[in-house]
Structure 1
Amino acid sequence: MSLPKPMMRGLLAKRTRIVLPMAFVSCGGLALFYKYVVGERRKRTYAEFYKNYDATKDFNAMREAGVFDSVQPSGK
């Protein structure tokens, strides 16, 4: 019983024809998955947050807490 001879010529070209399309399809599928599962959910979350967000109220709360060095609380 003898082993078959290994393919030496054209091995890279044969493997590239098989692997390259699979890589493009899997990368495209993963990109679409990420866009719709992570990206769209993140867009919705940001939209909900900024729908009722008041930057002035948040700034005043941080100023009163003493977060900023250059801004004095209004009580002083």
Structure 2
Amino acid sequence: MSSSVVAKPQMRGLLARRLRIHIVGAFAVSLGVAALYKFGVAEPRKKAYADFYRNYDSMKDFEEMRKAGIFQSAK
């Protein structure tokens, strides 16, 4: 009978090696999510606000709300 010797698994430094790999992966994923949020949510939101306030007339909006009866103190 031939008995093959199975190599012992390396246990020393296993946690440190795996942790290093997972930290790099987590850092890459977090940078990706931050970039997606910035360019997918924050920039379009800033553009929408800029477009809205570019031609916004607050006095005209106030007069429309006053005529609609929203305000109780302004007649």
TM-score under structure 2 length normalisation: 0.74
What runs of 5+ residues in structure 2 fail to find an aligned partner? 1-5
Moved segments of 4+, more than 3 Å: 3-11
Matched, 1:31 2:34: yes
Percent of matched pairs sharing the same residue: 51
- Residue 16 (structure 1) shift: 0.8
Q: Which amino acid aligns with 2:37?
A: Y
Alignment RMSD: 2.2
- Residue 11 (structure 1) shift: 3.5
Q: Which amino acid aligns with 2:26?
A: A
- Residue 24 (structure 1) shift: 0.6
Which residue number corresponds to residue 60 of structure 1? 63
What runs of 5+ residues in structure 1 fail to find an aligned partner? none
TM-score under structure 1 length normalisation: 0.73
- The count of aligned residue pairs is 71
Deviations 1:1-51 (A, max 9, x none): xx9867654343222111011001110111011111211111111111111
Rg comparison, structure with higher value: 2
